[in-house]
Amino acid sequence: MHLSQRITTLNGGGSDGWGVFYRARQMIAEGTAVTELTIGEHDIRTHPSILAAMDRAATGGHTGYAMVPGIAALRDTVAARIHARTGVPTTRDNILITPGGQAALFAAHMAVCDPGDTALFIDPYYATYPGTIRAAGARPRAIVTRAADAFLPRPEALAQAAPGATSLLINSPNNPTGVVYDRATLAHVAQTCRDHDLWLISDEVYDTQVWEGEHLSPRALPGLADRTLVIGSMSKSHAMTGSRCGWIAGPPEAIERLIDLATNTTYGVPGFVQDAAVFALTAGDELEAEIAAPFRRRRQLAHAILARQSCVGLIPSQGAMYLMLDIRATGLDGEGFATALLETHHIAVMPGESFGSAAAGHIRVAMTIEDDAFAAALSRLCTFAADLAALNTQVAQ
Ligand code: PMP
């Protein structure tokens, strides 16, 4: 039977750079111990106090259909949090609760793009972005950044890509690079959106994972609140990846329409999950800091290890649970290096190529295993890279 063009072309074709990940999973299934530094998921589980709140809500009967836009308590809590952190007046009318940030990304593009519209995104990018845009019927157009610019988009690249586009998707703190957009970059992003009448879709799911500097939400910039949809999630801030709870914050007229979309697609998020999210978000900043702490620690460990060698370069990053490493001195591309590392040392990392062309020659390391094992794996990775680089130099001579 015929399947729609939309669904059969979702992945864009070609190699998606996820071969290393699947090979690692296959090795594990066959009984090989593999150190996985691949997926962006905490090595801790959801906090017992959040689970207890979920349990209370579920056994207390909150298991029926929940209000499609989200329960009032959660919409209010998310609105108050955003208002307090950004200074932008925000009420429940600005908030739609979604089954995670991924569903929010899809809904946001559905809300602003007509079929065939051009939706911009920044390369390197979180792996689902082009497919999400295609799923919404729009055409993805990448704005390619450079390692030398810490993968921040240049103003001229933004201005060049913008004419004729409908939306621009940015992500700070960034997956895969860990880079946090500075004020100047966000000012250029905002200017581009105003100049070219673009919607800004701002993926801020890592907003609690900032190790240096501060997270700035572009919705707070002049003239942006009316043209910005912010994507938020409980997944990273509260180690609730499996609970599927996130949100879109935006202008009430957009949220009203997005509620229509939710009615006809997801039909809301489980009430007991939303109750648990209210509990988590009102539990105080300490809980968020506790959940983020292991990544902060491991980043410090990584900095110390990387400072002792000169073969692997670190992209200067300030947030999120990842490190983007430049392994071009080895003479291999990201995929080649990641494959060799997996086969030789049973350490799995993501090739930069999995996140777009800009990150070729790099690898992404997720800081998602216990400290000692993480430090040991990173040290081994550096030694392996140094050996390859030495070989590479010999060959070149
Ligand atoms: N955006 C980014 C940048 C991500 O890394 C992820 C998950 N890895 C998501 C959105 C989606 O997260 P979730 O659906 O779990 O909220």
d(CA 319, ligand 1 centre) in Å? 15
- Ligand 1 lined by 97 (C-beta under 6 Å): no
Q: Ligand 1 atom 12: the closest Cα is on which residue?
A: 101
- Ligand 1 lined by 205 (C-beta under 6 Å): yes
d(CA 127, ligand 1 centre) in Å? 10
* Residue to substitute in 98, 109, 181, 205 for testing ligand 1 pocket (most ligand atoms within 8 angstroms of CB): 205
- Ligand 1 lined by 69 (C-beta under 6 Å): no
Spatial separation of the C-alpha atoms in residues 300 and 303, rounded to whole Å: 5
Cβ contact 259:92 at 8 Å: no
pLDDT higher than threshold 90 for residue 318: yes
pLDDT higher than threshold 60 for residue 317: yes
Can you say how many angstroms the Cα of residue 159 is from the centroid of all Cα atoms in its chain?
24
Cβ contact 35:341 at 8 Å: no
Which domains, from first to last, does the chain contain?
Answer: 5-45+286-396 (3.90.1150.10), 62-284 (3.40.640.10)
Q: What is the pLDDT of residues 145-172, one digit of tens each?
A: 999 999 999 999 999 999 999 999 999 9
d(CA 183, ligand 1 centre) in Å? 23
Q: What is the pLDDT of residues 4-18, one digit of tens each?
A: 999 999 887 656 668
pLDDT higher than threshold 90 for residue 62: yes
Q: What is the pLDDT of residues 213-259, one digit of tens each?
A: 999 999 999 999 999 999 999 999 999 999 999 999 999 999 999 99
Q: What is the pLDDT of residue 397?
A: 66
Q: What is the pLDDT of residue 394?
A: 79
Count of all residues that appear for the chain in the document? 397
Cβ contact 49:160 at 8 Å: no
Considering the entire predicted model, what is its pTM?
0.97
Q: What is the pLDDT of residues 248-302, one digit of tens each?
A: 999 999 999 999 999 999 999 999 999 999 999 999 899 999 999 999 999 999 9
- Ligand 1 lined by 98 (C-beta under 6 Å): no
Q: What is the mean pLDDT of the chain?
A: 96
Q: What is the pLDDT of residues 339-378, one digit of tens each?
A: 999 999 999 999 999 999 999 999 999 999 999 999 999 9
Q: Ligand 1 atom 5: the closest Cα is on which residue?
A: 175
Cβ contact 47:62 at 8 Å: no
Q: Which atom of ligand 1 is nearest to the CA of 171?
A: 3
